[in-house]
Amino acid sequence: MNTKNPILFAGATGIVGQQAIEWFRTINPKQAVYIGGRNIQLADEIALKTGNASSLAIDAEQPNLGIDDSVEISAVMMLAPDSGSHGLRLAQKRKIPYMNVVTGMVEIGAELAEYALTTSGPVLLASHWAAGAATFLALHLAEQFDSVSTLNIAVVLDPEDIYGPAAFEDMERLQAGVPSAFSYENGKRKWLTRDAIHHKISTIDGRDVTGTSFASLDTVSLRAVTGAENIRFDIASDISSFRKAKNKPAAEIIVTATGSHGGAESTRKLAIEFHKGQSSLTGLCSSLLLNELIKKWQLDNRATLYTPESLGIKPEVFLKLLKDFGARIVEL
């Protein structure tokens, strides 16, 4: 179900952006796209490699991203910070879908206010870890219980993995702006500070490493869906289990859930390992969600506000797609 006009990938010349374009072309071979970026020479190269693509100079600091009104676009995919909400305003002005994967939890208020004011096109806020991979993994695990009381999401970020400068800037911006981390404790919102931000993480291969709590949108999504009273998200910068075994860095996400099933309480663990790395996993999940957003828009043409878990994709189906593209789902 392709659109008449190209989809704009804004920030497609970055590390995650290039991965997203590559995966999107694998998932959707025929959809026309714009490779949007400041480095037009690199955008030209990526467009040539991608096929059925054109480069487009954009400036995230300018109204309409610096794009002339004569340029026709069917959707806006933000892979670079939309700090001035220019990408969202462009999409709402044209009544087309908008998706963002780089806005932190404390920053989405601006996007919510813009959407509430216009409500003219569908918006997908998907700045969850790896664009929803952690959330879908946790939801799949939660489905094994009648009720869930605790969810701990842990990420092992391998120092030798390639994230790109924009990813580091995003992390630094969010951590500097919010020195404490958002969590849920006993059913109440709680900002973790000082020693409480540190948490032990058990890796896929059984090592214990120290993680630091992070304010991720996964936390609020999981609370909304599962009602779990205790939820936290931690990141450890350490050697991934895959590199320990195969000498190559990989993305690693571990979810631990405690809940009740059949009247008995238990704790279970499930993990994702993706040997192509964190940026590739984010690009893959971004592309899967974008494809689903376009489908929904074409079917109902409604200006709905979405998060990954509200698009209607079943966790089992999403994880099956990740496995089809090389992910390993591990029961621990």
Digit-coded pLDDT (tens) for 141-198 = 999 999 999 999 999 999 899 764 444 455 555 555 555 689 999 999 999 988 889 9
- Are 68 and 93 in contact by the 8 Å Cβ rule? The answer is no
Instruction: Report the CATH architecture of 7-129+280-313.
Output: 3-Layer(aba) Sandwich (3.40)
pLDDT > 50? residue 287: yes
Mean pLDDT across the chain, nearest whole number? 93
Nearest to 252 by CA among 150, 316, 158, 139: 158
Secondary structure element (H or E) that encloses residue 27, with its range: helix 15-27
1/85: higher pLDDT = 85
Phi and psi angles of residue 193, each rounded to the nearest 5 degrees, phi first: -140, 165
**Does 131-277 carry CATH code 3.30.360.10?**
yes
pLDDT in tens, 29-88: 999 999 999 999 999 999 999 999 999 999 999 999 999 999 999 999 999 988 899 999
> Cα Rg for the chain, rounded, in angstroms?
19
Taking the domains of the chain in order of start, what are their residue ranges?
7-129+280-313, 131-277
The band of 330, judged by pLDDT with boundaries at 50, 70 and 90, is very high
Model pTM score: 0.94
CA dihedral 38, 41, 43, 48 (to 10 degrees): 170
